[in-house]
């Protein structure tokens, strides 16, 4: 018999943030605040403080006016200023063009008509005007071959924008790194000798676990800047008075599960066919005591229930959804017939959650809710724990589970396993109505200079196919790390677009995209000749579906389908998807 | 009532109302009103212009002209209504003279090809989906070539390694042509499985003359035959979904030109009828 294939078990620090991080640097960092004040004995042996600094951090030097983080970008690291200074732009924000983005404008009537004759014959033609960059932000390639973006005319920027200074010892970017939310401000270096320590989120998470002071500091910032806003977005907390909300905020815990690099993991797992619910981290287990209401802040979680020997997916919960509220509400109203969690909540990729403890819900939140809101939380009578899903689920969580039931378990598994819930404009095709006429592809090409921006093929389940088109993800991993900010969210609709002028063709976004919806293309000039760089290599740009942001009337693919077979859908709105399936 | 069914009912209701109005108009004014034929003729021509414009709308997806789906629904039901207007226009009589016979036949071809197209576009996608193994139409020639090369390599390999020509001969006699081009178009369209079964039966019969290794090769060939059959099925149905338009659209433009000539002739030879 063949011996089983063995594989080295991956270790936490197989891949260092900076392979060239030296022991001397680590020693220097250990002598610098806040690390000098940390107690190395409190760190586990597997992840010592020196190890974190060695493998999860890197020292970066910035020159005067160089952009460190851009407002609206997604990032997975925080920064500590070691030397020099930085300025954060407060208000007004820097214009989009300065940050390497473009302001999307819908085409005027004349421009729409002009498309009749102005579409080029050759593929991937970029007109000169399309590639013109804003002179107030210039990218340069440094000695390390990294592309750096500098703000030009700094005095004018300082005149026109209110800024705040940060100096050695200040930390920034930690909330965006820990909660996977967009950066809230642009920060640029002041002086040519600005030295920053960039900490990737895994290292920052470990530091928080083992150092009370840093945890308290970040905890404070989080509660002060983010928590109140987030809780106010949720109806049951919106009803509370300020002092009651303060009580809730003081007791709320926040945790990040999983891995921000889920897209890379997902690609690997998908190739080996080992994407399975059983391998996902459990946040809350069916049958356990409900010790708090779980609020999803970012990322996604899978809601499942035991079925036979496995678990079947009922729904997936994205930002703004809650888990456990109906169980806790029922227990509060029926003290003698308490029920445990009715479902299991698992991490899909990564999930950032807030937990409001049961005691706080019972003492502060429920007593202050208006009666109609209490009634809406679920049935007043106890729900039997062992009742079949059709009974418990529908009565307890009508919003979350009806759609899942309508969609069916096979399709739910398909959507979850392929992580399609991430899409806010997923291209869904009903194969039983699609006549394969390719009108959608032709419409896409006509509206994009004769270049189709998607493929009418992709994974399918039953009669539903998810086409290979950008889904404009809720968690757009393609945005992470773009050196020039070329790929960004549109200002108006939040669609993910690429500025052709500032795209340097580095392929980072294409490699990051778990759905392989971004393609690299060799560009041409108006005469049809390839655009070449100084080494005579074709200039490559990233391209993808832009949801026809510049066109009037919405996505051309959807409008072009004669049989109503193609729809761009927000997969977070399963009700709409279920209705579309049964239309 | 759900989306598609509700909309279908609304369109049918509109069609019924329009038909009843047209029928009443015909009964009331067809004999009395001298200009009735002109009225129905112009209405018919105008409606046909709008129906023809659908193809133009498809070519201008960047213009805000509404959803193609709504256009198609209008195209279908207004298309049915043209039959009512057409009958009223010709006063339910067979045309006289070659010019009008051609016009009549062109209308029939356009209408029938449209109805056939509608039936095909409603039925074939379901069959394609149920059959599975879908390949993009443009990719089909490449996949066929790949299958051809694989099968040929298997046959040749068998001849050299087994030192008996039995599989190679079988390949040359029965499979070479099968893999070299697309086969059994009408069988696939009509869901007749006999060609595949016949080929697989021949391969099964052959196995009694083969040793273990050759049987494995025959098994692989059977698998490739099934794949090729699935590919031919996809091609036959996807091609049919495209082909009917090659009748409908040219016939439509011919009809429009012929109608234009008809209008010119009518006015040219109306002899002062006003």
pLDDT in tens, A291-308: 999 998 888 888 888 877
Residue closest to B188 by CA, chosen among B227, B230, B225, B126: B230
For B59, the closest chain A residue by CA position comes to A443
- Is A268's pLDDT higher than 70? no
- Please indicate whether, in this complex, the C-beta atoms of B125 and A553 are within 8 angstroms of each other: no
- Is A530's pLDDT higher than 90? yes
Same domain, B155 and B227: yes
Q: What is the pLDDT of residue B85?
A: 94
Q: Confirm whether B103 is domain-assigned.
A: yes
- Is A54's pLDDT higher than 70? yes
With the C-alpha atoms ordered A521, A524, A530, A535, is the resulting torsion angle positive or negative? Answer: negative
Domains A23-95+152-208 and A257-415 in one fold: yes
Preferred mutation among B57, B61, B129 to probe A, highest tally of A CBs within 10 A: B61
Same domain, B127 and B257: yes
Q: List CB contacts (< 8 A) between A431 and chain B.
A: 125, 128-129, 134
B132 shares contact with chain A (CB less than 8 Å): no
Q: Give me the residue from B68, B136, B241 closest to A561, CB to CB.
A: B68
The CATH class of the A422-581 domain is alpha beta
Q: Output the DSSP codes for A74-142.
A: --SEEEEEEEEEEEEEEESPPPGGGGT-----PPPHHHHHHHHHHS-SSTTB--TGGGPPPTTEEEEE-
Q: What is the mean pLDDT of residues B233-257?
A: 96
Q: In Å, how far is B74's CA from the nearest CA of chain A?
A: 11
Q: Helical H runs in chain B?
A: 3-29, 36-59, 68-89, 98-131, 140-162, 166-170, 176-180, 185-189, 194-206, 212-268
- Is A1's pLDDT higher than 50? no
Same domain, B257 and B163: no
Q: List CB contacts (< 8 A) between B59 and chain A.
A: 446
For chain A, what is the total number of helices (H) and then of strands (E)? 21, 22
- Is A145's pLDDT higher than 80? no
Q: In Å, how far is A434's CA from the nearest CA of chain B?
A: 6
For A444, the closest chain B residue by CA position comes to B61
Q: What is the pLDDT of residue A277?
A: 56
Residue closest to B154 by CA, chosen among B219, B231, B62: B219
B172 shares contact with chain A (CB less than 8 Å): no
- Please indicate whether, in this complex, the C-beta atoms of B68 and A457 are within 8 angstroms of each other: no
Q: Give me the residue from A436, A446, A564 closest to B62, CB to CB.
A: A446
Instruction: Please count the residue pairs, one from chain A and one from chain B, whose beta carbons lie less than 8 angstroms apart.
Output: 73
Give the mean pLDDT of chain B: 92
Q: Output the DSSP codes for B53-98.
A: HHHHHHH-TTS----HHHHHHHHHHHHHHHHHHHHHHTTT----SH
Nearest-angstrom CA–CA distance, B210 and B225: 18
A116 shares contact with chain B (CB less than 8 Å): yes
B66 shares contact with chain A (CB less than 8 Å): yes
Q: Give me the residue from A107, A551, A560 closest to B68, CB to CB.
A: A560
Interface predicted TM-score (ipTM) of this complex, two decimals: 0.89
For B58, the closest chain A residue by CA position comes to A560
Q: Give me the residue from B2, B67, B242 closest to A583, CB to CB.
A: B2
Q: What is the pLDDT of residue B119?
A: 97
With the C-alpha atoms ordered B53, B54, B55, B60, is the resulting torsion angle positive or negative? Answer: positive
Structural tokens at position A435: 């006549």
Q: What is the pLDDT of residue A27?
A: 92
- Is A7's pLDDT higher than 60? no
Which CATH number fits the domain A257-415, given the four candidates 3.40.50.2300, 2.160.20.10, 2.40.110.10, 2.60.120.10? 2.60.120.10
Q: What is the pLDDT of residue A394?
A: 39
Over the stretch A59-87, which tens digit does the pLDDT of each residue have? Answer: 999 999 999 998 888 878 899 999 999 99
Element (H, E) at A266: helix A262-272
Q: Which of A90-104, A466-480, B9-23 has the highest mean pLDDT?
A: B9-23
Q: In Å, how far is B229's CA from the nearest CA of chain A?
A: 20
- Is B34's pLDDT higher than 80? no
Over the stretch A372-402, which tens digit does the pLDDT of each residue have? Answer: 887 777 666 655 444 433 333 334 444 555 6
Nearest-angstrom CA–CA distance, A487 and A509: 8
Q: List CB contacts (< 8 A) between A563 and chain B.
A: 69, 72, 121
Same domain, B112 and B183: no
Q: Which residue has the higher pLDDT, B94 or A428?
A: A428
- Is B3's pLDDT higher than 90? no
Nearest-angstrom CA–CA distance, B177 and B184: 12
Four-CA torsion A64, A66, A69, A71, nearest 10 degrees: 100
Same domain, B127 and B206: no
Q: List CB contacts (< 8 A) between A446 and chain B.
A: 59-62
B128 shares contact with chain A (CB less than 8 Å): yes
Q: What is the pLDDT of residue A382?
A: 55
Q: What is the pLDDT of residue B110?
A: 97
Which domain range does residue B13 map to? Answer: 3-132+243-268
- Please indicate whether, in this complex, the C-beta atoms of B58 and A447 are within 8 angstroms of each other: no
**Lowest mean per-residue pLDDT among A224-228, A263-267, B164-168:** A263-267
Nearest-angstrom CA–CA distance, A38 and A204: 13
Over the stretch A349-373, which tens digit does the pLDDT of each residue have? Answer: 778 889 999 999 999 998 888 888 8
- Is A540's pLDDT higher than 50? yes
Q: What is the pLDDT of residue B11?
A: 95
**Lowest mean per-residue pLDDT among A165-179, B93-107, B136-150, B216-230:** A165-179
Q: What does the domain layout of chain A look like in residue ranges?
A: 23-95+152-208, 257-415, 422-581
- Is B255's pLDDT higher than 60? yes
- Please indicate whether, in this complex, the C-beta atoms of B121 and A116 are within 8 angstroms of each other: no
Q: Confirm whether B220 is domain-assigned.
A: yes
Q: Give me the residue from A435, A436, A439 closest to B58, CB to CB.
A: A439
Q: In Å, how far is A414's CA from the nearest CA of chain B?
A: 17
Over the stretch A417-446, which tens digit does the pLDDT of each residue have? Answer: 888 988 999 999 999 999 999 999 999 999
> How deeply is A391 buried, as exposed, middle or buried, from its count of CB atoms within 10 A (0-12, 13-18, 19+)?
exposed
Q: What contacts B148, CB < 8 A, 6 or more positions away? A: B179, B180
Q: Confirm whether B113 is domain-assigned.
A: yes
Long-range (24+ apart) CB contacts under 8 A made by A266-275 are A266/A349, A266/A419, A266/A514, A267/A514, A270/A418, A275/A417
Taking phi first (over 0 means left), then psi (-120 to 50 degrees means alpha), and beta for anything else, what does residue A324 get?
A: left
Same domain, B253 and B172: no
- Please indicate whether, in this complex, the C-beta atoms of B125 and A432 are within 8 angstroms of each other: yes
Confidence of residue B258 (pLDDT cuts 50, 70, 90): very high
Same domain, B254 and B122: yes
With the C-alpha atoms ordered A215, A216, A218, A219, is the resulting torsion angle positive or negative? Answer: positive
B3 shares contact with chain A (CB less than 8 Å): yes
Phi, psi of A562, deg, nearest 5: -75, -20
- Is A555's pLDDT higher than 90? yes
Q: What is the pLDDT of residue A463?
A: 93
Q: Confirm whether B46 is domain-assigned.
A: yes
Q: What is the mean pLDDT of residues B61-76?
A: 93
Q: What is the pLDDT of residue A389?
A: 36
- Please indicate whether, in this complex, the C-beta atoms of B241 and A436 are within 8 angstroms of each other: yes
Q: List CB contacts (< 8 A) between A565 and chain B.
A: 125
CA angle B91–B94–B97, rounded 5-degree value: 115
Q: What is the pLDDT of residue A441?
A: 96
Note the pTM of the prediction, 2 decimals. Answer: 0.81
Q: Confirm whether B230 is domain-assigned.
A: yes
Residue closest to A341 by CA, chosen among A314, A298, A303: A303
Q: What is the mean pLDDT of residues A452-464?
A: 93
Same domain, B14 and B68: yes
**Lowest mean per-residue pLDDT among A96-110, A271-285, A373-387, B178-192:** A373-387
B125 shares contact with chain A (CB less than 8 Å): yes
Q: List CB contacts (< 8 A) between B134 and chain A.
A: 431, 460
Nearest-angstrom CA–CA distance, B25 and B15: 15
- Is B16's pLDDT higher than 70? yes
Q: What is the mean pLDDT of residues B215-244?
A: 95
**Lowest mean per-residue pLDDT among A25-39, A227-241, A466-480, B119-133:** A227-241
For A432, the closest chain B residue by CA position comes to B126
Q: What is the pLDDT of residue A453?
A: 95
A53 shares contact with chain B (CB less than 8 Å): no
Same domain, B94 and B141: no
CA angle A209–A210–A216, rounded 5-degree value: 70
Residue with tokens 């002028």: A501
Same domain, B97 and B34: yes
> How deeply is A158 buried, as exposed, middle or buried, from its count of CB atoms within 10 A (0-12, 13-18, 19+)?
middle
- Please indicate whether, in this complex, the C-beta atoms of A561 and B69 are within 8 angstroms of each other: yes
> How deeply is B39 buried, as exposed, middle or buried, from its count of CB atoms within 10 A (0-12, 13-18, 19+)?
middle
Q: In Å, how far is B56's CA from the nearest CA of chain A?
A: 12
Residue percentage of chain A with pLDDT more than 70: 88
> How deeply is A462 buried, as exposed, middle or buried, from its count of CB atoms within 10 A (0-12, 13-18, 19+)?
middle
- Is A245's pLDDT higher than 80? yes
B241 shares contact with chain A (CB less than 8 Å): yes
Which CATH number fits the domain A23-95+152-208, given the four candidates 2.60.120.10, 2.60.40.10, 3.40.50.620, 3.30.420.130? 2.60.120.10
**Lowest mean per-residue pLDDT among A257-271, A273-287, A407-421:** A257-271
Same domain, B249 and B228: no
Residues in chain A: 583
For B63, the closest chain A residue by CA position comes to A112
**Lowest mean per-residue pLDDT among A242-246, B71-75, B103-107:** A242-246
- Is B272's pLDDT higher than 80? no
Give the mean pLDDT of chain A: 84
Q: How many domains does chain B divide into?
A: 2
For B67, the closest chain A residue by CA position comes to A559
Give, in order, the Cα–Cα distances in Å from A571 to each of A12, A381, A473, A513, A583: 33, 33, 10, 17, 16
């Amino acid at each position: 018999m063949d011996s089983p294939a063995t594989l080295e078990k991956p270790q936490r620090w197989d891949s260092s943030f900076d392979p060239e991080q030296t022991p001397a640097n680590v020693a220097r960092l250990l002598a610098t605040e806040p690390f000098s004040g940390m107690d190395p004995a409190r760190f586990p042996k597997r992840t010592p403080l020196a190890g974190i600094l060695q493998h999860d951090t890197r020292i970066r030097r910035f020159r005067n006016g160089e952009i460190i983080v851009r407002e609206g970008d997604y990032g997975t690291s925080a920064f500590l200023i070691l030397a020099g200074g930085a300025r954060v732009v407060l208000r007004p924000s820097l214009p989009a063009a300065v940050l390497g983005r473009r302001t999307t404008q819908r085409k005027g009537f004349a421009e729409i008509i002009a498309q009749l004759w102005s579409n080029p014959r050759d593929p991937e033609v970029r007109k000169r005007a399309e590639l013109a960059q804003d002179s107030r932000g210039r990218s340069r390639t440094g000695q390390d071959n990294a592309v750096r973006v500098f703000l030009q005319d700094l005095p004018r920027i300082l005149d026109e924008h209110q800024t705040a200074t940060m100096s050695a010892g200040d930390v920034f970017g930690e909330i965006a790194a820990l909660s996977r939310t967009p950066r809230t401000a642009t920060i640029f270096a002041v002086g040519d000798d600005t030295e920053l320590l960039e900490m990737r989120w895994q290292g920052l998470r470990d530091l928080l676990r083992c150092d009370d002071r840093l945890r308290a500091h970040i905890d404070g910032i989080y509660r002060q800047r983010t928590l109140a806003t987030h809780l106010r977005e949720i109806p049951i907390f919106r009803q509370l008075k300020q002092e009651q909300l303060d009580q809730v905020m003081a007791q709320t815990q926040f945790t990040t599960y999983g891995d921000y690099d889920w897209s890379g993991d997902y690609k690997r797992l998908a190739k080996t066919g080992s994407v399975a619910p059983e391998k996902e981290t459990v946040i809350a287990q069916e049958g356990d005591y409900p010790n708090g209401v779980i609020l999803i802040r970012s990322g996604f979680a899978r809601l499942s229930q035991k079925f036979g020997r496995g678990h079947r997916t009922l729904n997936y919960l994205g930002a703004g959804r809650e888990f456990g509220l109906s169980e806790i509400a029922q227990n509060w109203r029926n003290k003698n017939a308490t029920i445990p969690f009715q479902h299991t909540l698992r991490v899909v990729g990564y999930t950032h959650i807030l937990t409001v403890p049961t005691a706080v819900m019972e003492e502060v939140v429920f007593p202050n809710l208006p009666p109609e809101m209490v009634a809406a939380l679920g049935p007043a009578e106890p729900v039997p724990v062992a009742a079949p899903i059709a009974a418990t689920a529908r009565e307890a969580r009508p919003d979350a589970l009806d759609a899942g039931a309508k969609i069916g378990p096979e399709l739910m598994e398909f959507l979850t396993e392929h992580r399609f819930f991430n899409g806010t404009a997923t291209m869904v095709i009903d194969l039983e109505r699609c006549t394969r006429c390719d009108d959608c592809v032709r419409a896409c090409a006509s509206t994009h200079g004769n270049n189709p921006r998607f493929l009418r093929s992709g994974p399918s389940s039953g009669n539903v196919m998810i086409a290979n088109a950008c889904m404009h993800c809720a968690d757009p991993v393609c945005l992470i790390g773009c050196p020039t900010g070329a790929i960004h969210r549109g200002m108006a609709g939040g669609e993910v677009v690429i500025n052709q002028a500032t795209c340097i063709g580095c392929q980072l976004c294409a490699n990051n995209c778990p759905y392989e919806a971004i393609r690299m293309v060799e560009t041409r000039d108006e005469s049809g000749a390839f655009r070449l760089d100084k080494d005579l290599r074709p200039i490559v740009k990233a391209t993808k579906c832009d949801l026809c942001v510049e066109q009037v009337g919405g996505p051309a693919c959807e409008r072009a389908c004669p049989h109503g077979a193609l729809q761009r859908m927000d997969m977070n709105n399963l009700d709409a998807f279920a209705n579309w399936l049964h239309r | 009532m759900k989306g598609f069914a509700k909309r279908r009912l609304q369109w049918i209701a509109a069609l019924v109302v329009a038909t009843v109005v047209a029928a009443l108009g015909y009964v009331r004014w067809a004999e009395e009103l001298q200009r009735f034929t002109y009225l129905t003729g112009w209405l018919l021509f105008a409606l046909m212009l709008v129906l023809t414009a659908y193809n133009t709308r498809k070519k201008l997806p960047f213009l805000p002209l509404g959803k193609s789906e709504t256009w198609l629904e209008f195209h279908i039901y207004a298309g049915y209504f043209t039959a009512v207007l057409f009958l009223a226009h010709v006063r339910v009589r067979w045309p006289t003279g070659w010019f009008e016979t051609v016009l009549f036949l062109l209308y029939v071809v356009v209408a029938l090809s449209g109805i056939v197209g509608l039936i095909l576009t409603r039925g074939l996608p379901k069959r394609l989906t149920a059959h599975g193994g879908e390949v993009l139409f443009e990719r089909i020639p490449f996949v066929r070539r790949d299958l051809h090369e694989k099968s040929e390599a298997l046959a040749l390999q068998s001849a050299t390694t087994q030192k008996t020509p039995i599989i190679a001969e079988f390949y040359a006699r029965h499979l070479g042509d099968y893999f070299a081009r697309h086969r059994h178009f009408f069988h696939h369209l009509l869901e007749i499985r006999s060609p595949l079964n016949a080929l697989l039966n021949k391969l099964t019969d052959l196995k009694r003359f083969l040793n273990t290794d050759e049987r494995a090769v025959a098994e692989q060939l059977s698998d490739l035959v099934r794949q090729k059959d699935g590919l031919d099925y996809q091609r036959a149905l996807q091609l049919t979904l495209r082909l009917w338009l090659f009748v409908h659209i040219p016939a439509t433009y011919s009809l429009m030109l012929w109608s234009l000539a008809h209008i010119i002739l009518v006015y040219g030879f109306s002899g002062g009828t006003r």
